[in-house]
Amino acid sequence: MERVSLIIKKVRQFLIESKVELKKVTWPTSKQALASTSVVIVVVIIVSLFLGLVDFGLTKIIKVFLG
């Protein structure tokens, strides 16, 4: 029973400290979040297209060598 009580105290202390730390965070505005999300989406699309082209090219090269 003492062990359960100790675990509960540690969890409670962790949650209290987490709440204090989250109050220190500078949260982005909705405009900043939207801008960051847009950048991520554009970069993902560009990288996906590049990797798709590389994959397509390598597939064609391998088919030429293997017949």
Instruction: Examine the pLDDT at 60 and tell me if it is beyond 90.
Output: yes
Backbone phi, psi, residue 64, to 5°:
-65, -45
- Mean pLDDT score of the chain: 96
**Ranges of each domain in the chain:** 2-66
Residues belonging to the chain: 67
Give residues with Cβ within 8 angstroms of 36, minimum separation 6: 28
Paired tokens of 10: 């540690």
Model pLDDT for residues 15-41, shown as the tens digit of each residue = 999 999 999 999 999 999 999 999 999
Q: Quote the CA–CA distance of 18 and 24 in Å, as a whole number.
A: 10
